[in-house]
Chains A and B, each alone.
Chain A
Amino acid sequence: MNRSSLEELVKLAERESRFLSDLIKERESLETGLSIAEITQTMGQMYDIMLDNYRQGVESDKRSVSGLTGGEGWRLKNQIKGRPHGGIYAKAAAHAMGISNINASMGRIVAAPTAGSCGIIPGSVITLAMEYGKTREEVVNSLFTAACIGRIIAENASLSGAEGGCQAECGSAAAMAAGAGVELCGGTPRQVSNAVAFALKAVMGLVCDPVAGLVESPCIKRNGFGAVQALLAMDMALAGIDSVIPADEVISAMDEVSRAMPVSMKETAEGGVAAAPTGKRIADYLMNSGAYCHN
């Protein structure tokens, strides 16, 4: 079986009437020689850090190291408290931005798949788990599905902003979260692959244009949007909507777009909003504070 194909994995799961995460754990155990208990424990450790980040991210308006951002998650969480609109999507966005805020202030995070996109998976998956009372075991299992989707994207396209723009980083994170969400909410393997396709198509072509080259603006907000996009993709898939283009072909299309994308829009801070007058002014300001000495 071609392990770089989501379609083949989905077909196998359908044939054997099993969860994707069970197949993925088995295969990972075979390939690494570690027991399923061991890899489940390691994923549990990742989940514990994500949970800490999930709670702490929206607790304060602590500024980033550069001072450019801070408190985005906290602000949104306060705004939506007790209000009906926005619902679970806005909560997920608040938590995703909060986790991204922790990253920007040099806190300890789980790169998922990267540091710049680290808020999306925990922000959306843990919000779902909290809202619907999912068990720890169910959430940890869904993270295996997320990881496997990410690996398939890495093997056929890229997970890095420098190689593929933001579509490859936040887009992939949203696709991973969408797939994990479908499994967590009881969807089928086919629905997982539809959710992946929806999430990636939503941001096909999105450039990586960090202001002053920092993982802050627009990255933190894009983590918020990424969580919403993941949950919407999940809901569409659970509603029985089919992707016209199969997930594997969407991934390959994303790779094509990555190759066509100018270097100025792949994390070099030379294009997009990074090259806007205000973006450039911020970059100059941050750069010109001179060398410092420490004794």
Chain B
Amino acid sequence: MNLFDVIGPVMTGPSSSHTAGAVRIGNAALDLFGRKPDKAVIRLYNSFSKTGRGHGTDKALIAGLLGFAPDNTRILYALEEAKKSGLTAEVEFAGEEPAYHANTAEVIMYHGDEKMDVLGKSIGGGRIVITRVDGYETEYTGEYHGLMTIHNDVPGVVSQVTGSLAEAGVNIAYMRLYREREGSEVMMIIDTDNHIPMEIKEILNSHPEIKKAAILNQN
């Protein structure tokens, strides 16, 4: 534990789990979607639903989707900021869902025909885990640089992705693949030690077997 985890972090109040963590779920969802959504539906569950208004959890998630950091003082004005930047956000206080963690948010993002559905939980101290992306069970924390792909389950895709990372001098820290069944689609999340150059995104997007790709660089 770093001393600045004890005196720090700097954050917008009032709650590290219900405000700062909610911003980070929004940030992670935005990174995974890979573009600015023009519409978002946000569903808050359990404690997020019960106490979300008073903690500004709704505003925090919208601020996260706008790319605000957890210490941004404009989080309080996220609704106005969303309007200005053309994001239509709907928030539902969805009540109890026993299958979900106490602090859970579902974020459904739209841009034209594109859509992504992300489920995240805030586990305390501002730390989060994205547990589901478009139906794939995941364990993405948003603490590392990395990338995400959804690709056809055929040989060679993984080696091509890791090959282009190697060429760019990017070291892989963790790597996980999630799939429904053999031969279907696969979601891959790679955590890396280094910042990933944006050129990699072009390479991934032009690959015939890769359907979706996002670069997940952290600040």
A residues at B contact (CB < 8 Å) = 24, 28, 32, 39, 42-43, 45-46, 49, 64-66, 68, 102-116, 118, 121, 143-144, 146-148, 150-151, 154-155, 159-160, 162, 176, 212-216, 269, 283, 286-287, 289-295
Contact = CB atoms under 8 A, between A and B. Distances in A.
B125 A108 contact: no
B56 interface: yes
A108 B7 contact: no
Interface in B182-196: none
Interface residues of B, number: 43
12 contacts: A24-B3, A43-B3, A110-B11, A114-B16, A114-B125, A115-B16, A146-B6, A154-B6, A155-B1, A159-B6, A162-B124, A287-B53
Interface of B: 1-4, 6-17, 19-20, 47, 50-51, 53-56, 59, 62, 71, 73, 75-76, 79, 82-83, 88-93, 124-126
B14 A115 contact: yes
Contacts of B7: 43, 46, 110, 112-113, 121, 143, 146-147, 150
Contacts of A214: 14, 51, 54-55
A9 to B, nearest CB: 13
A102 B73 CA distance: 11
Contacts, number: 149
B3 A294 contact: no
B110 to A, nearest CB: 14
A109 B55 contact: no
Given A32-B2, A150-B7, A106 B14 contact: yes
Contacts of B3: 24, 28, 39, 43, 144, 147-148, 151
B14 A103 contact: yes
Contacts of A291: 91-93
A290 B75 CA distance: 22
Contacts of A114: 16, 125
Contacts of B83: 294
Contact of B82 (A116, A143, A294): A294
A147 B1 CA distance: 11
A102 B54 contact: no
B50 A287 contact: yes
A60 to B, nearest CB: 15
Contacts of B75: 106
A28 to B, nearest CB: 5
A68 B19 CA distance: 17
A232 to B, nearest CB: 22
Nearest 4 CB-CB pairs, A to B? A103-B13, A66-B54, A213-B51, A150-B6
Contacts of B71: 108
B91 A294 contact: yes
B66 to A, nearest CB: 13
Given A103-B14, A291-B92, A113 B53 contact: no
A38 B50 CA distance: 42
Contacts of B79: 294
B204 to A, nearest CB: 33
A213 B9 contact: no
A213 B20 contact: no
A68 B90 contact: no
A283 B52 CA distance: 12
Contacts of A212: 51, 54
Most buried by B among A28, A216, A291: A291
Nearest to B102: A268
Contacts of B89: 294
